[in-house]
Chain A
Amino acid sequence: EVQLLESGGGLVQPGGSLRLSCAASGFIFNNYAMSWVRQAPGKGLEWVSAISGSGDNTYYANSVKGRFTISRDTSKNTLYLQMNSLRAEDTAVYYCVKEPVAVGPGWFDPWGQGTQVTVSS
């Protein structure tokens, strides 16, 4: 069974940093692209970043470009999102998602349970 388990969320002050992790299991990790999707309180879904199966290609939403970095560690079957210069508008639940191919884009399935990031002083 494919499983994605996020961790690393929490409360951080504006301008601070946080690194999210997503532990993947049940599939050959480097055969699939992965993405992060977020959802602000009471709002809709926003795609944040994607990375190809090899890790060679990365993509970012304009809202996080230059502040967030996506990466993956095949030896640990783990996806990461390094978030720097955090702003109040980055407050959201962050979901890790698997794509159906090595080089996206594609649909998102499955989704992790999400990890809450709150940016506040």
Chain B
Amino acid sequence: DIQMTQSPSSLSASVGDRVTITCRASQNINSCLNWYQQQPGRAPKLLIYSASNLQSGVPSRFTGSGSGTDFTLTISSLQPGDFATYYCQQSCGTPPNTFGQGTMLEIK
């Protein structure tokens, strides 16, 4: 199975900061990488699909990049509603569609 490793596991930042979360796959997954945001007590929400495509309705301050094994999610200017947990997920080949362990973004 393909393993996904996110870093950091947690991150403290302030409103207006630019933050970057990384996700590394254990093997080449081309651009089969998706990002989700989960607010406490809520279901996850798709932010980015296929590495760099912004899901409809998601603010443009979220950008995804990368291919192969290394990917990043960047939030250009943090807003109060962005403090949440972020997960990457690979969707290449046959399942399992493994998730990273998550990155908790907290207010500094």
A interface, CB within 8 angstroms of B:
35, 44-47, 50, 59, 61-62, 95, 100, 104-114
Contact = CB atoms under 8 A, between A and B. Distances in A.
Contacts, number: 66
A105 B96 CA distance: 9
Interface of B: 32, 34, 36, 38, 43-46, 49-50, 55, 87, 89, 91-102
Contacts of B97: 35, 47, 50, 104-105, 108
A47 B78 CA distance: 29
Contacts of B100: 44
A113 B92 CA distance: 26
A105 B45 CA distance: 17
B34 A44 contact: no
Contact of B87 (A44, A62, A109, A114): A44
